Structure formats: C-alpha cells, structure tokens
Structure 1
C-alpha cells in the first residue's frame, strides 16, 4: 500500500505540472494573438515619437484639441497688432475644418480640401471630397477623418493610405 506522503507528493507534482502547462498555453495564446494582430494591421511606417508636441504656430484640429480648449499653450501672443497678409474666400456655412501646420493652411469645405501656403495664401493643391470630414494634423501628416473612413495625406497632397472603419 502506498504511503500518504508519496501520494501527496505525486499530487503536488501533478498540480505543479498542470499549472505550468496551463499558464504556458495561455501565454502562448496571448503571443499568438499579438502576432496575428500585427499581421492583420501590418507594420507601421514610422511611429510617432513619445516626446512629440506641436510647434507654436500649429493648430492641429478644430478647436485646437479633443478637449476643445481653443488654446495653444505653446504659442506666444503677437508683440504688435497683426496685419492681414492674405485672404481666402470660403463661405462660413461651407467651412468644415481649418488646420495650420508648419507652412501650410489646410481648409476643409463641404466639397473640397485645399492646401494653402501660410505665408502668401497661394493654393498648393486641392482635392474634391464628398462627405463631412474632419482634419487632424499629427507629426507631419494630415488625417482626413470621416464617420466611416480615415485617410492619411502627405503635405504634398498625396494620399498615403486609406482605411474603412467598421461600425460594429
């Protein structure tokens, strides 16, 4: 007849091995899930640096940020009264979004996206757009965000990528 001590020891070994194998398989599933997710999404061209922030002259989206503060904490007020350098005619009812970045002003009206030179107001490029979209500028890229689609646009107007959003 086996002793109680050897039976308890065998149970401990069995429980230890079972616990280790279960936790290993769970960890393997998590790793596999991460790999599948990376495969599905693809690799990113360039991650945004953790210390990236806006320059003083940038206005990345409508109302400045998601909190809609309408305030750029990095900007300094003008030392003299501002002088109008140029104008661009767009009806206020058609104006959807206005973004300023580096040396470009992006104007999103109801039917068009236009890029203007911030210094003299000359039109750099324009694209027709059919639906209501918002503009967001992050780290050298303009993102055109709609309810069902996101587009990444380079400063020269070329569309870098586009993806549809699921409504699930």
Structure 2
C-alpha cells in the first residue's frame, strides 16, 4: 500500500501544479484581452481626436480636443497598470530607464545596466499583506508609479502607438 500512497500523493501534487499553472494562464489571457481592448479604445479615441482637430480648425473651437486628450491619457494609465500586473504575473520587472523587461530579482538591467529597484521589499509586502508598519515598502511603489505616469503622458504628446501584449514564453498568443 505504500507504493500506492506514493503514487497517489505524486498525482495530487502534479494536479495541484497543473491547476496553479492553469489559473496563471487564464489570468495572463484575461490581462492580454483587456489590454487589446484598451488599445482598440485608444485607437478609436485617436481617430475621434483627429476628427475634432479637423473640425476645430474649420470652426475655431478647440475645447473638445482637451477632453479627448484627457480621455486618452486615462486609457494609457489603465493600460500601464495592466502592463504592470502582467509583468508581475510573468515574473518580470521593467527597467525604469529604458523599459526593457528583466527577470524578477535582477539587480541591473540587462540592456542598459541601470540599477533596478529592489524587488525584495515588494515581495515581502505581498507575502505579508497585514504588515503595514514598514514605510520602506510603500516608497518604492509610489516612485515607480510616478515614473510610469510620466512615461504614459509623454507618448500621448508624441503620437503614441498602441501597446501590444508581451510574449510570456509559452508559445501561445
């Protein structure tokens, strides 16, 4: 009976691993779909903005343009948050200097050599959600979010291109 128990335990362990991977793949797919929908919405807003600019140049009204720009900026912020979540699930960290994806836990960027923010503090915060006494954990997260808002705002002024979902290495799109 010992062999049977070992086989049963191994099968249960394998089923647990497969279940966890299935949940991860489902979440990655959901994020990619949401990102694709946001990119389509951004494209539609850019098209509408182009029409507004054309109409404004004909009639002299420009107040609608500002509303469209703000709506596009909000969509870029949502897209940035989804991209962060996707990278977190994939175990990647993005270089704040060049935007290159690096393996989670890397100290320096593989592309430009910039020192990456320490991930240990963020991992501890995720492992201990009830412990809110560490002020060091909150500071890097707030700094990273501010940098990405600046990056999201800059491309909006330079005719940005839609962000496409990243490859997670599974061979599936």
What TM-score, normalized by structure 2, do the two folds share?
A: 0.24
Relative to its length, the structure with more strand (as a share) is 1
Higher helix share: 2
Pair member with larger Rg: 1
TM-score between the two structures when normalised by the length of structure 1:
0.25
Say which structure, 1 or 2, has more relative contact order (CA 8 Å, 6+ apart). 2
